[in-house]
Structure 1
Amino acid sequence: MRRIAIISDIHSNMPALERVLSDIDAQKVDAIYCLGDVVGYGPEPVEAMRRVLDVCDEGKVIAGNHDHAAIHEPIGFNAEARAAALWTNSKIRAGMFSWLGKRKRWNWLRDLPTSFTEKDVLYVHASPRNHLEEYILEEHTLGRTFLGEDPRQLLEENFALVQHTCFIGHTHRPGVVTGDDFTWHSLKALDQRWTIDPRKTIINVGSVGQPRDGDPRACYVIFDGASVEWRRVAYDVEKTRKLIMGTPQLGQHLADRLLVGR
C-alpha cells in the first residue's frame, strides 16, 4: 500500500515545516497531502506557499479557512486572526505587474479545492459538511454545546457524509472520533497509532505550525490504508517566535502560544 504523509495547519511556520519535511523524508513516503491553512498566524507565508507547492502532490492540497481569508475578506475572525490575515494578504497579493512566481502562488492559493476523495477516504480542512470553518472537537463527543451547535446533531450530520474515513485538521488537536459511538480517542489513549477498522472515523491529523493539544512539537500523520501513525517533531520554536515578534501585525500572543502548544 502507498504510504501518505498528511500535513495540515502549517500557518506560515517554516522552522516547523522544514523539520516535518525532514522527518517525512526519513519515513520513505510515496506522497504528501496537505489539508490547508498553509498561511495565517505565522511570519513566513510566501516561503510556506512555495515549499508546499514544491513538495505536495498536485491536486492533493486543499484550502483552509486562513488560506481563504488571506485571499478574500477574513470574515468572522477575531481581531488577532484578522490582523494576521490582512498582513498575510499584503505579503502574498499579486497584481497585474507582479512577477510570474508571485502570480502563480497567488492563483494557486486562490484556486485550491476545499476537499478531495480517494476511494472511501474524504479529505477536508474542517468538517465534511462545512469544509472551511466548522469545528469537530472532543467537547462535542462529551455532549457539550460549542458555538450554539447541538453536539449530537453536528456529529450525526457530519458522519452521514463520511463513507468510511475522513481526515481533517482545523482544530489543531489530533485524535479520532468513531462514528458508531461518537467517542473521542486521544493520542495518549491510542499510543499515537490508529488501526483502520470497519467503523466510520473522522481523524484529525494535528497541526504542523501551531499545535493546541498541550504539546508544542509539530504534528502530522502517515497513512498507509491500514493504519494511521501520528508523528511529533521538535523544531526551533524560538526562531519562529522571534520572527513573529519582529512583525507588529502578528503580536506577542501568537509567539508565546507556540511555547506551550495551546
Structure 2
Amino acid sequence: MTGQWAILSGIEGNLAAYEAVLADLRWSTVDSLYILGDVVGLQGENEAVVQRLRSPRDHELSPQVCTGWWEEQCFNLHGMGLQMDVPELLTAYGADAVNTLWESLSRDAVQWLRSLDFGFHELDCLLIHGSTVSYSDELTPETPAIQLCDRLIRADADHLFCGRSGQAFECWIEDGTLQSSVTTLDEPATVHQQTMQPRRVVGVGSVGRRPNQATYVLYSPTSNQVEFRTVSYGAGQGFQTSRSRSGHLR
C-alpha cells in the first residue's frame, strides 16, 4: 500500500453522510478504506447502510469494517453477544432506543456484522473502535496521559486510531521512561523500566453523528501525516469540504 488510508467511524445509520464521504474520497489518492465501528445507530437507515457496505459499487474501495459499541448492543439484543441484555443502551438512550434498534436490522444483517473483526493491526498502527480494553473505552484529548500510555502499550502500536468518542483529535505521547514495580508477600519490590518512543492516539471523528457534517481522517503511512477532513452535506449545505493537518476538530 503506497497511497493514503481513509479512516472513519460512527456512520450510525446515516447513509447520506456516508455517501458524502465516499464522494469526497473520489478526489483523493486513498487506496484503503477503514471503518472503525458504529456503522449502525439511531439515524434511521441501518439496513441500507449495511447493504451499502456489503456491496460497494464499481470503482469504489471495498471497506474494511470492524465492530463498535452500537454493534455490540445489536449482538446482545439478538442473543449473539456476551450479555443477554443491554444495560448500557438502556442507560444512555432509554427503552425506545432498544425497540428502534431491534426493528432496524434484519437477522441476516446482524449476522454479517457479527462476522466482522474487533480491530485491525496494520504496520505500526492499531485501528479500533474504542481500545483493546473494550468497545466503550472512550479516549479523548482530556484522557489522562498515563491512560493513553497504557492503551498504546496494550495495543503494541505507535499510532492508535479510534472512533468511540466521535471527536477528531491528535494526542502525542513524547518519549520517556516508564517505571513500574511489583511487590509480593514473598519478595521485595521488583522494579521494571520501559523506554517509550513517541507515540500518538488519533480520534477519527464521526461520519453520521452530527447532522449535515461528517468528519474523518486521511493517513499517509509513508510520512505518518494525518489530515482531518470535514464534509458538509444535506439541504442548504451543497457539498463542501475543509481540512486540517493538526489540532482538534470538535
Which interval holds the TM-score relative to the shorter structure?
0.7 to 0.9
Structure 2 residue 80 is the aligned partner of structure 1 residue 67: no
What does residue 25 of structure 1 align with?
26
Matched AA of 1:54? S
Look up the SS of the partner of 1:27 in the other structure.
Answer: coil
Distance 2:96 2:215 in 1: 25
Alignment of 1:4-19 (within 5 A): 4-19=5-20
Q: Distance in 2 between matches of 1:238 and 1:210?
A: 18
Runs of 4+ in 1 over 6 A off after TM superposition: none
Q: How does 1:221-232 map to 2 (within 5 A)?
A: 221-225=217-221, 226=223, 227-232=225-230
Shift of 1:83: 3.3
Gaps of 5+ in 2: 78-85, 177-196, 238-248
Question: Following the alignment from structure 2 to structure 1, what is the Cα–Cα distance between the partners of residues 148 and 31?
Answer: 32
SS in 2 for 1:160: helix
Considering only aligned residues, what root-mean-square deviation do their CA atoms show, in Å? 2.7
Q: Please state whether the residue corresponding to 2:18 is helix, strand or coil.
A: helix
CA distance in 1, matches of 2:94, 2:41: 7
Structure 1 residue ranges without an equivalent (≥5): 95-102, 141-150, 183-197, 240-260
2:202 is aligned with what amino acid?
A: I
The structural deviation recorded for 1:79 is 4.7
**Which secondary structure state, in structure 1, belongs to the residue aligned with residue 127 of structure 2?**
strand
What TM-score results when the alignment is normalised by the length of structure 1?
Answer: 0.69
Q: Contact 1:33 / 1:57 at 8 angstroms: preserved in 2?
A: no
Distance 2:168 2:94 in 1: 21
Question: How many residues end up aligned between the 2 structures?
Answer: 202
Q: Deviations over 1:202-238 (max 9, x none)?
A: 1111000014xxx962101111212111111011178
Q: Deviations over 1:84-130 (max 9, x none)?
A: 34412222132xxxxxxxx2x32211222211211211111012332
Distance 1:71 1:88 in 2: 11
2:177 pairs with 1:158: no
Q: CA deviation at 1:136?
A: 0.9
Q: Does residue 1:126 correspond to 2:130, yes or no?
A: yes
SS of 2:150's partner is helix
Indicate yes or no: 2:170 matched with 1:167. Answer: no
For residue 112 of structure 1, what is the aligned residue in structure 2?
A: 116
Give the drift of 1:82: 5.7
Greater strand fraction, Structure 1 or Structure 2: 2
Q: Scaled by the length of structure 2, what TM-score is found? A: 0.72
Write the distance in 2 (CA, Å) between the matches of 1:123 and 1:18: 22
Cross-structure match for 1:90 = 103
Q: Which of 120, 127, 140 in structure 2 is aligned with 1:137?
A: 140
Check conservation: 2:36, 2:129, Cα contact below 8 A. yes
Choose between structure 1 and 2: higher helix proportion.
1
2:88 to 76, 87, 99: 76
2: distance between equivalents of 1:163 and 1:129? 14
Which digits, 9 at most, give the CA deviation of each residue in 1:15-58, with x for residues without a partner?
A: 11111111012214212110000001211001111112234636
Q: Is the 8 A contact 1:40 1:85 kept in 2?
A: no
Cα 1:28–1:153, aligned 2, differ >3 Å: closer, same or farther?
Answer: closer
AA aligned to 1:57 is S
Q: Distance in 1 between matches of 2:96 and 2:115?
A: 23
Deviation of the 1:66 alpha carbon? 0.4
> Counterpart of 2:104 in 1: which secondary structure?
helix
Larger radius of gyration: 2
1:154-213 Cα shifts (integer Å, max 9, x gaps): 22311212421111101011001212279xxxxxxxxxxxxxxx72111111000014xx
CA contact (8 A) 1:66 1:85 kept: no
1:112 maps to a residue whose letter is L
Partner of 1:57: 62
